[in-house]
């Protein structure tokens, strides 16, 4: 991580300003490449997004997305049934009042998210970083993170992160950035 701190000393763990969109994109990006996640997001916008203005469409609101039957969502976006079910469950929860953002109680929101089908610790931890802006949140089971640390388990990644408290999200961003761009800087 030293190389990342030297090359990108200003790098920060940035929270997403639009929590609902970030949450949907996180679910769409589970266990796929960033390119695939962007493709799924674009298809979702085309299939279910808001009215086009100036050539742009908005991400669908939670209530609008919750009204789309899971099989229709699966077909339109190209998702697996399980992933489409997760998107639908998240939309239903948000439409019913689940607040996903910095103003909500992180512990209660994490518990509510983990109760949804298809949302596990990685997704909840990633959302804690990107949506809640929790500077100590840490997605210990992230594949890129574990590779960057040279470990194979979330437990080992979590143990290595203890000295970085209360800034583990910053360390996470540096490790991700180093994994993505480190070889290019060598």
pTM of the model: 0.84
Residue 146: which domain range?
A: 2-13+138-185
Regarding whether 80 and 30 lie in a shared domain, the answer is yes
8 pLDDT higher than 70: no
User: 44-53, 109-118, 156-165: lowest mean pLDDT where?
Assistant: 44-53
DSSP per position, 89-152: HHHHHHHTT---STTS-HHHHHHHHHTSTT--HHHHHHHHHHTS--TT---TT-HHHHHHHT-S
Q: Number of folded domains in the chain?
A: 2
Give the domain-ending residue among 98, 122, 151: 98
Give a yes or no: residue 47 inside a domain: yes
pLDDT of the residue at 2? 52
CATH number for the domain spanning 64: value is 1.10.340.30
Say yes or no: 27 and 88 in one domain. yes
Residue 107 forms part of a structural domain: no
| pLDDT tens per residue, range 83-126 | 999 999 999 999 999 988 766 788 898 999 999 999 999 999 99
Average pLDDT over residues 23-44: 92
**Domain-located, residue 131:** no
């Amino acid at each position: 991580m030293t190389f990342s701190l030297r090359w990108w000393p200003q790098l920060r763990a940035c929270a997403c300003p639009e929590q609902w969109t970030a949450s949907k994109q996180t679910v769409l990006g589970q266990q796929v490449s960033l390119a695939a996640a962007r493709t799924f997001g674009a298809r979702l916008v085309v299939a279910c997004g808001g009215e086009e203005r100036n050539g742009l469409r908005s991400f669908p609101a939670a209530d609008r997305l919750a009204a789309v039957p899971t099989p229709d969502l699966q077909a339109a976006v190209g998702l697996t049934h399980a992933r489409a079910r997760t998107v639908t469950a998240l939309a239903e929860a948000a439409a019913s009042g689940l607040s996903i953002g910095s103003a909500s109680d992180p512990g209660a929101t994490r518990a509510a998210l983990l109760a949804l089908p298809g949302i596990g610790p990685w997704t909840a931890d990633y959302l804690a970083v990107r949506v809640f802006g929790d500077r100590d949140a840490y997605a210990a089971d992230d594949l890129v993170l574990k590779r960057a640390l040279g470990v194979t388990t979330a437990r080992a990644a979590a143990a290595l992160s203890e000295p970085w408290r209360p800034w583990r999200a910053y360390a996470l961003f540096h490790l991700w950035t180093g994994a993505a761009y480190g070889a290019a800087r060598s």
